[in-house]
Structure formats: C-alpha cells, structure tokens
Amino acid sequence: EAGVAQSPRYKIIEKRQSVAFWCNPISGHATLYWYQQILGQGPKLLIQFQNNGVVDDSQLPKDRFSAERLKGVDSTLKIQPAKLEDSAVYLCASSHNTDTELRAVYEQYFGPGTRLTVT
C-alpha cells in the first residue's frame, strides 16, 4: 500500500511571496490533515478534512492560509503572502475511516513533509 505523498519536498521563498503544497493521502483514507511543525515542537493541526468537507480549521490563519480538497482525494495548502514565521515543515496525514467507534480512525499516517524556508 502506497503511503501519503507530498510535494514539493523543499521550498525556499521570499516573504510576501505565495506557495502551494500538494498532498495525496493513502488510498481509501477519508480523513486528511495538514499540520505545521516548527523546529523543536510537535506538529500542530492546521486543518482537517473528512472527504471534501472541512471538519476543523480553528488553528488555520485564514488571512493568509487556505486549503482545499475538492474531490475528496488529494489536497492543496496555500500560503499567501508568506511571513518569516511560516518557516516550518508542513506535514500531511491521513486516517482510515470516519466511524468513530472504530479506533483505527484515530491512527494517522504522515507523509514525508515539505520543508518551507521563508527568507
């Protein structure tokens, strides 16, 4: 079974520029997550999708960040305009199904991440 795919793996941009990240979850996984991980910290959830709907975007800085999962499969996260403090690794994760009675729904599997450097 193929894992979570992400691209690009690395990106360097100047502040105020825009950037987009792509994620393709594990086949059949209904739930997709975007996390931000700053060096020395644990991942922080930015947004969670269930199929093509947003479940939680409470920690997404909506003035500059946006995300979509139009067909309920792959997803794009965008930052516009970028700030220096956005330098981090952006991780995509997916989990198996939407039935909360099954514990497997909470087991999240991560992609390789995109390391963003804003200069």
Alpha-carbon 60 to chain mean position: 11
Smallest gap from Cβ 55 to other proteins, in A, equals 8
- Cβ-in-10-Å burial (0-12, 13-18, 19+) of 6 comes to buried
Residues 51-80 that bind other proteins (CB under 8 A): 56
How many angstroms separate the first and last alpha carbons of the chain? 37
Give the Å distances, CA to CA, from 50 to 7, 11, 13, 20.
21, 27, 30, 20
Q: What CA–CA distance (Å, rounded) separates 32 from 36?
A: 14
- By CB under 8 A, what part of segment 77-116 binds other proteins? 89, 91, 100, 103, 106-113
Sign of CA dihedral 77, 98, 51, 74: positive
Does residue number 36 form part of the binding site for other proteins (CB under 8 A)?
A: no
In the complex, the smallest distance separating the C-beta of residue 40 from other proteins, rounded to whole angstroms, is 7
Does 22 bind other proteins (CB under 8 A)? Our answer is no
Applying CB under 8 A, the span of 21-29, 37-45, 69-77, 78-86 interacting with other proteins comes to 37-45
Q: In the set 1, 2, 41, 53, which binds other proteins (CB under 8 A)?
A: 41
Task: By CB under 8 A, name the binding residues for other proteins.
Answer: 33, 40-45, 48, 56, 89, 91, 100, 103, 106-113
